[in-house]
């Protein structure tokens, strides 16, 4: 399975902090924001990843992430217009996707949970399309899943105003390669470009959409405002400090997933110097 990250979103509410640099390179506590969606894809089993970035940002992302070989990955970059969405990314990524299954997520999302790797694995192994659903107090700014009394999904609603469901759809989607044909068919049938909700509803109508609800043991954060950035940093800091474990560390995830061996992890530790981050990784080996 291949992975795509959208790191081209520009959020005016984060100005002036993100006026001169992509918001996805801003720190969430002790790591750049992009590390968190990157490790989510790695936990899903993706090792070939395409990152869409703003037209002036490729060099900065390459400086941070390189080609991914240090983590056993193969990272590609492509420039895309600011705030181009999921459907645009899938269409632009057609040559990259080929005949592979694809996981796509937004670069400003943090997902955490004790059994997250297992949950991601179940969605990654689906036959057609798979999404998560996550309970939120204020669902009006998200796509939401409406369920029947037997907890079966009925419909995906895009930015609902009637709040018929509190089950938001996190911006993480798993599709088979046929998603490109679905987009083409929906475009021919309608008078507008289809949305990601249209795509998911198509799969749902065909009984080819798996929806897994994330319970209270999970956290999903999307970073839209300075307060979101602060809250995410506080969450990461509190969790890591209390447990002595890292969240969103590509070096650790690559090592635990078997993408790199002890020697490969050791090389990463040498480059990190005497930082607390490096000392945590050293404790993994000892």
Model confidence pLDDT, tens digit, residues 91-121 = 999 999 999 999 999 999 999 998 899 999 9
**Structural domain count of the chain:** 2
286 in the same domain as 196: no
On whether both 114 and 67 belong to a single domain, the answer is yes
The string of pLDDT tens digits covering residues 150-202 is 999 999 998 767 678 999 999 999 999 999 999 999 998 876 789 999 999 99
- Contact status, residue 263 vs residue 233, Cβ threshold 8 Å: no
C-alpha span between 148 and 112 (Å, rounded): 27
In the predicted model, what is the mean pLDDT of residues 64-86?
A: 93
Whether residue 37 is found in the same domain as residue 139? yes
Residues 11 and 83 in one domain: yes
Q: Which residues constitute the domain of residue 193?
A: 2-248
Residues 209 and 283 both lie in one domain = no
Give tens-digit pLDDT for 122-150: 999 888 999 999 999 988 889 999 999 89
Closest CA to 13 of 222, 180, 226, 177: 226
- The whole-number pLDDT of residue 21 equals 87
Is the pLDDT at 59 greater than 80, yes or no? yes
Do 210 and 264 have their domain in common? no
Do 164 and 48 share a structural domain? yes
Can you give the CATH number for the domain in which 101 is found?
3.90.550.10
136-to-5, 125, 205, 211, 223 alpha-carbon distances in Å: 23, 26, 25, 16, 15
Same domain (yes/no): 272, 236:
no
Residues 28, 65, single domain; the answer is yes
pTM given for the model: 0.95
Give pLDDT, residue 274.
79
Give me the phi and psi of 144, to 5 degrees please. -130, 155
Residues 6+ apart with CB under 8 A from 197: 143, 156, 157, 158
- Phi first, then psi: give them for residue 67, nearest 5 degrees: -95, 5
Distance CA 98, CA 7 (A): 21
Please give the share of the chain, as a percent, with pLDDT higher than 70: 99
Q: Are residues 130 and 212 in the same domain?
A: yes
Q: Are residues 198 and 78 in the same domain?
A: yes
H-helix segments, the chain: 35-43, 58-65, 86-92, 94-97, 116-124, 179-189, 196-205, 226-243, 250-256, 262-271, 276-285
pLDDT of residue 69: 97
């Amino acid at each position: 399975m291949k992975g795509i990250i959208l790191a081209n979103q520009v959020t005016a509410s984060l100005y002036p902090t993100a006026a001169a640099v992509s918001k996805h390179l801003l720190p969430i506590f002790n790591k750049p924001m992009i590390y968190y969606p990157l490790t989510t894809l790695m936990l899903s089993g993706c090792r070939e990843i395409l990152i869409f970035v703003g037209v002036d940002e490729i060099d900065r992302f390459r400086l941070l992430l390189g080609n991914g070989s240090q983590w056993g990955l193969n990272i590609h970059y492509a420039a895309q217009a600011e705030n181009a969405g999921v459907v645009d990314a899938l269409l632009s990524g057609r040559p990259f996707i080929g005949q592979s299954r694809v996981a796509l997520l937004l670069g400003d999302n943090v997902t955490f949970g004790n059994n997250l790797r297992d949950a991601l694995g179940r969605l990654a192994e689906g036959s057609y399309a798979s999404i998560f659903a996550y309970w939120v107090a204020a669902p009006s700014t998200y796509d939401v899943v409406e369920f029947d009394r037997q907890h079966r999904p009925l419909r995906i609603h895009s930015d609902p105003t009637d709040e018929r469901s509190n089950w938001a759809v996190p911006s993480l989607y798993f599709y088979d390669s046929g998603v490109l044909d679905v987009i083409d068919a929906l475009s021919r049938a309608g008078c507008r470009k289809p949305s990601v909700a249209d795509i998911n509803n198509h799969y749902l109508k065909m009984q080819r959409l798996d929806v897994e609800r994330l319970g209270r043991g999970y956290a999903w954060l999307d970073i839209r405002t300075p307060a979101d950035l602060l809250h995410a940093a506080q969450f990461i800091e509190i969790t890591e400090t209390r447990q002595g474990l890292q969240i969103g560390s590509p070096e650790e995830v690559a090592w635990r997933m078997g993408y790199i061996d002890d020697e490969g992890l050791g090389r990463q530790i040498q480059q990190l110097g005497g930082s607390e981050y490096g000392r945590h990784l050293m404790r993994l080996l000892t």
